[in-house]
Amino acid sequence: MTLAIHPDRLELLGVCGLDDAEPLLRALIERPGAALELADCAFLHTAVIQVILAGRPRLNSLPRNILLQSLLPQGDNA
Amino acid sequence: MNEFIEQFLLEARELSAQASSDLLALERTPGDAGLLNNVFRAFHTLKGAAGIVDFAAMARALHAVEDVLARARAASQPLPGEDIDKCLASLDQVDAWLDAMEAIGDLPPHADARADDIVRLFAPGEHVAAEPRNASGDWAPDFLERHPAHARRARVALRYRPPADCFYRHEDPVDWLAGAPGLLAMELAPAAPWPPLARMDPFACNVVATALLAASPQQVQDFVAGRDSDVELHVIAGPPAGWPARAFDVLEVQRTILQQTAGPGAAGRLGAVGRVAASVLRGAGEAALAQAVEDAAAASIASLDPAPLSQAIDQAVQRAGAQPSSDEAPPAARANAPEEPVSRTLRVDVARIDALVALAGEIAVAKNALGHAALLARDPHRASALPAMLKEQHASLDRLVRDLQDAVVSIRVLPLRHVFQRFPRLVRDMAASLGKSVRLVVEGEATEADKTIVEALFEPLLHVLRNALDHGVEPPAERAARNKPAQATLRLRASRVGESVVVEAADDGRGLDGARIRAAAAARGLGSPETLAAMPDREAMDLIFAPGFSTAASVTDVSGRGVGMDSVRTAVERLGGVVTLESVPGEGTTVRFTLPYSVIMTRLMLVEAHGQTFGVPFDSIIETVRARRADIAPLGGERAIVLRGKTVPIIDLAGLLGQAGAPAGDEDANLVVATMNGQSVAFEVERFGGRMDLMLKPAEGLLACVKGVAGATLMGDGRVLIVLDMEGLLA
């Protein structure tokens, strides 16, 4: 389980594989407006990235991986 | 040109030639299912190759052809003649595209409109689908524009549309692309607009990934192997067409040098940088830019400030980069560029490479033996054995080097098939346009000759065949009247005779008419009627090679465009060959090219002028003469001598080369007599030297700008030997 659900925000941790896409999608549907924390996330599967791109949650922090940073929506949410 | 496109050109040309010859064979035996299969396969592979280099327009056009072939194949019906014509027409377009790509090193412009024409040709009623056109790499320039920081390094833009179910196959597109060679940047976009989250299927992949890569197209191609159908590659264009590949690099280095020009020797460095940059630009055909750089260099040297020169070089690079076909470049400079793109790649039989490897081994052994001899030389007791040993080793090295030269030369040889295979198609079309029925028989196409010769033979041969078809072969009615078979026969024959390659084009037409040639020659002022009448037939027939001669009564579509057989002779002579002609009235004409097998080995005669040794190619020398001063007569401001009843002007070689060498007192004069455009000229030299065989490469780089120099080589004692181009010297 690399998706942590906090009362005010969601957090992705460590290596986030294909299995994390569906829980993340459900969490975003259930908690509209929730922010996402990515600072401690080391890897994102394409399926997870596309949920983030589609849902466009507010990103409180970005992963340290520069490539992943470049793929995520920035600026308007930061 | 990048290797990606290079490889594509190589394969596509072979496939196109294969398809063309199979189509022609299919035309003769329409029901042959095997041939139809071959044609289909060639088009199919060609289409695939076009897809790999992101040439969507060509792939689309070939898809239309493939459809027609597939239908005929499925119905087991012969391909109708008109479809064969259409297939050939589409191959013409493919060849034109390939030529354009070879010239500009990138996908040709306006290809989509041409592709539409072909699609329409095969499906006149159907509406041309516009959709695939948007996929033809339009995304790449925009993408590149969004990443200006990477523009310089990016070689390939890649777009990957993973299949929607790829996650189920344990694929992770982003992770895969992250491992791409030379990844500079990546972008993700939705393939279809993102649905509301409530309706989103997290397991369906809906992204399109684009990436900029700094790797070579070949590396990228290897990387995407297996995902080809989902990946589009766009090769990013390099420096402007027409510039030598290294020109940019050299200019770049000059700019770097300019940053360190402070301190002692600054003026010298500025001068050197200016000269190199100007020569590079001149070599690239940018005479105006070269002049600007030279002016700036003078300014920089005067003020010891590199800024003007640095700016001038920057401007040259930018200007040429911005408008590759700059109008400001003088046309004269442009004209130096080769007219026909020359293929840069060569397919070589592995056996020949193996022979080279074996030779390399033997040479290593010989080198070791020399090392042993060097040890002996140090030992005073055994040094007496040295001369014999060295002599022996020189002999064996001599043999090995000769073998090596032969082996290397043989790598450059190509079978004449490369040029011959283009003719069946051309002859068929030309004959059809003239309403004549002609059979082309090709013999000896496996005969080999140097690549340069094989590639340069196409134009002159085409010209000879055109002439044969147009003027030699009689119209069907005339042939019937002469009891000749209605179908004429053209023979294209090649054979190896000693060190020469003989290529013949023979027709069984009406032959040359001596009287008509004499009349035409007289009308064009090539000789007085009396001289012409006295000429033997053989010599009169040779007149068709005279500049400005053409016997065609009317200008036809096929030949007679104002370029006569003289261009054929010029072209063959440029290759070091001769053209001869045989004709029997009523029976036909044979035009024979006798060409050297290899152009690389040049036999040189060494001469001395003003104390320096020069090489003169033997084939430009008629004779060497030692003449008494008394026999040399002043002629105008010059000198001349009468040799075999002809007055030959004498030119002092040292003077011609800009050396102040007054001809010596009363010793005999040493003359090298050469012929230039039919005119004999004697060059006075100080001394005749020995002979020497040499692998003469065309001069390149800075030397290429010097007129009169054919190349350079090193002599045994380490001196540089300049090889003179006698015609160029007087030009």
Instruction: Classify residue A78: in a domain, yes or no.
Output: no
Interchain contact, B195 vs A54, CB within 8 Å: yes
B197 interfacial to chain A (CB closer than 8 Å):
yes
Torsion of CA B115, B116, B118, B124, to 10 degrees: 170
Q: Do B197 and A25 touch (CB under 8 A)?
A: yes
Residue B491 pLDDT exceeds 90: yes
- In this predicted structure, the answer to whether residue A52 has a pLDDT above a threshold of 90 is yes
Window from A27-31, A58-62, B410-414, B462-466 with minimum mean pLDDT: B410-414
Residue B545 above 60 pLDDT? Answer: yes
d(CA A55, nearest CA chain B) in Å: 6
Beta bridge partners of B156: B213, B235
The alpha-carbon gap from B191 to the nearest alpha carbon of chain A, in Å, equals 11
Chain A residues touching B202 at Cβ < 8 A = 21-22, 24-25, 47, 50-51
Segment 145-164 of chain B within 8 Å of chain A by CB: 162
In B445-600, beta strands by DSSP E: 448-450, 488-497, 500-507, 578-584, 588-596
- Is B195 within 8 Å of chain A by CB? yes
What's the pLDDT band for B320 if we cut at 50, 70, 90?
low
Averaged pLDDT for residues B384-401: 87
Contact B426, B462 (CB under 8 A): yes
pLDDT of residue B243: 61
Q: How many whole angstroms separate alpha carbon B311 and alpha carbon B326?
A: 19
Spatial distance between the Cα atoms of B250 and B273, rounded to a whole number of angstroms = 10
> Chain A closest CA to B599's CA: distance in Å?
55
**What six digits make up the tokens of B645?**
């009843």
pLDDT surpasses 60 at B114:
yes
Query: Tokens in use for B614?
Result: 């020069």
How close is the nearest chain A Cα to the Cα of B226, in Å?
Answer: 20
Contact at CB, A54 and B205, closer than 8 angstroms: no
Q: Are strands B588-596 and B578-584 parallel, antiparallel or unpaired?
A: antiparallel
Distance to chain B for A45, nearest Cα, Å: 6
Any idea which residue has 């040098």 for tokens? B257
Question: How much is the pLDDT for B696?
Answer: 65
Task: Provide the residue type at B204 as one letter.
Answer: A
Give yes or no for A75 touching B (CB within 8 A): no
Among the residue ranges B73-77, B178-182, B237-241, B542-546, the one predicted with the least confidence is B237-241
* Distance from C-alpha of A37 to C-alpha of B473, rounded to nearest angstrom: 85
- Domain region containing A19: 3-71
Which segment of A31-40, B163-172, B283-292 scores lowest on mean pLDDT? Answer: B283-292
Residue ranges of B 201-260 with Cβ closer than 8 A to chain A? 202-203, 205-207
Q: Which residue among A43, A44, A50 places its CB closest to the CB of B207?
A: A50
Q: Which of B147, B166, B170, B172 should be substituted to probe chain A, the one whose Cβ sees the most A Cβ atoms within 10 Å?
A: B172
Do residue B190 and residue A67 have CB atoms under 8 angstroms apart?
A: no
- In total, the C-beta contacts within 8 angstroms joining chain A to chain B are 64
Mean pLDDT of B549-561: 49
Put simply, the answer to whether B190 touches A29 (Cβ < 8 Å) is: no
Residues of A with CB below 8 A from B188's CB? 49-50, 53, 71
Question: B413 pairs with which residues across the strands?
Answer: B450
The pLDDT of residue B78 is above 70 = yes
Let me know if residue A76 belongs to a domain.
Answer: no
Distance in Å, alpha carbon of A50 to nearest chain B alpha carbon: 7
Which residues of chain A lie closer than 8 angstroms to B198, CB-CB?
29
Torsion B688-B693-B694-B695 (CA) sign: positive
Instruction: Determine the residue of chain A that is closest to B178 in CA distance.
Output: A67
Q: Report CB contact under 8 Å: B197, A28.
A: yes
Chain A neighbors of B206, CB-CB under 8 A: 50, 54
In chain B, what residues touch A53 (CB-CB under 8 Å)? 188, 190, 194, 207
Q: Which residues of A touch B175 (CB under 8 A)?
A: 43, 45-46
Most confident range (mean pLDDT) of A14-18, B519-523, B544-548 is A14-18
pTM over 0.90: no
Q: Which of B167, B183, B188 sits opposite A53 (nearest CB)?
A: B188
Mean of the pLDDT values across residues B293-317? 84
Interface test mutation site (partner B, options A24, A28, A50, A70, max chain B beta carbons within 10 A) = A50
Q: What confidence tier does B208 reach under pLDDT thresholds 50, 70, 90? A: very high
* ipTM of the prediction: 0.93
Asked whether residue A12 is domain-assigned, the answer is yes
Higher pLDDT, B151 or B427: B427
- List phi, psi (to 5°) of B211: -145, 145
- Where is pLDDT greater, at B203 or B716? B203
Tell me the mean pLDDT in the region B330-342: 38
- For A25, the closest of B183, B202, B206 (CB atoms) is B202
B169: pLDDT strictly greater than 90:
no
Nearest of B640, B647, B652, B574 to residue B607 by alpha carbon: B652
Tell me how far apart the alpha carbons of residues B527 and B512 are, in angstroms, rounded to a whole number: 19
- Which residue has tokens 């380490």? B718
A57 or A2: which leads in pLDDT: A57
SS3 B641: strand
Q: For residue B278, what is the DSSP state?
A: H
In the structure, what pLDDT confidence band is assigned to residue B132 with cuts at 50, 70 and 90?
Answer: very low
User: Do residue B198 and residue A51 have CB atoms under 8 angstroms apart?
Assistant: no
Q: How confident is the model at residue B225 (pLDDT cuts 50, 70, 90)?
A: confident
Tell me whether A28 touches chain B (CB under 8 Å): yes
Structure tokens at B24: 């022609």
From A43, A46, A54, residue closest to B200, measured CB to CB: A54
- Give residue B418's pLDDT: 84
CB atoms A47 and B194 under 8 Å: no
Judge whether residue B337 has pLDDT over 80: no
Cβ B174–A22 below 8 Å, yes or no?
no
Q: List C-alpha distances in Å: B242 to B213, B235, B283, B284.
A: 25, 18, 10, 7
Whether B207 and A28 lie within 8 Å, measured CB to CB: no
Q: Which of A28, A43, A47 sits opposite B167 (nearest CB)?
A: A47
Under 8 Å between Cβ of B66 and B40:
yes
A46 touches chain B (CB under 8 A): yes
Specify the number of domains making up chain A.
1
Mean per-residue pLDDT for B343-372? 83
- What pLDDT, on a 0 to 100 scale, did the predictor assign at position B508? 92
**Could you give the angle at the alpha carbon of B307 between the alpha carbons of B301 and B312, nearest 5°?**
90
Q: Kind and range of the H or E element at B674?
A: strand B669-676
pLDDT for B241 beyond 80:
no
Residue A45, classified by CB atoms within 10 Å of its CB into exposed (0-12), middle (13-18) or buried (19+), is buried
- Mean predicted lDDT score pLDDT of chain B: 80
Per-window interface: B 535-554 vs A, CB < 8 A: none
Contacts of B195 in chain A (CB under 8 A): 54
